[in-house]
Amino acid sequence: LPPSGLLLREGRSCPRPEALGRSRSRRLLGPTPVWATGPEGILRAGARAGRAAMAVTLHTSHGDIKIEVFCDMVPRAAENFLGLCASGSYDGTTFHRNMKGFMIQGGDPTGTGKGGECIWGGHMEDQFHADLLHDRRGIVSFANRGPNTIGAQFFITYERQDHLNNVYTVFGKVLDGLDTLDDMERVPVQGKKCRPVDEIRINSVTMHANPIADAS
């Protein structure tokens, strides 16, 4: 499908930053519980640790995927993703679109492909960086329905996708779990929207102050 296949309509709200705190299923590996300070505190902890020093592990029904988050290059996009992770907004959500050789998309709390707001409510602006491109397998970006309409939904590329550059905001890459991504890509789909026949679910998310921390 062309890039427009990723354009989404989003509309369900998620917790605001002030509501973030000791949310369910949160586990931070490290001495400082930065998730208790909300997304801004998470970013400050990442900045103290060094360049691109934040990571999360998505514990899915098909295995774990660890994602490095580029806090320094796209700070507002990173804040949105980390805030959604910290609030538990992704817990129990499914990947509703699975396109072999292209990408897998999820993060919609409604499961329809039409929901999900950013942590500030509604949509946020795009954020691009010259060094962040859809140039390999495992790039993580926000979905949108046009310019400056980022909400909660995101996708992970299966292959290089140059036509997505400067259209969708890249905020991370897969550090570990490409074998899990392989398993996801093999899940059969149905219908024009490529919905997985067997559910691919995010059960919970672990947040790391250090991207090379052990995910166990």
Cα(91)–Cα(145) distance, integer angstroms: 23
Cα(128)–Cα(60) distance, integer angstroms: 28
Residue 25 has pLDDT above 60, yes or no: no
Cβ neighbors of 89 (< 8 A, separation 6 or more) are 14, 15, 109, 116, 152
Is pTM beyond 0.85 here?
Answer: no
pLDDT, tens only, 111-124: 999 999 999 999 99
Q: Which long-range contacts (CB under 8 A, 24 or more apart) does 184-190 make?
A: 184/60, 184/62, 184/95, 184/98, 184/104, 185/98, 185/100, 185/101, 185/104, 185/158, 187/62, 187/98, 189/98, 189/99, 189/100
pLDDT, tens only, 30-83: 333 344 445 555 555 544 444 445 899 999 999 999 999 999 999 999 999 999
pLDDT, tens only, 98-114: 999 999 999 999 999 99
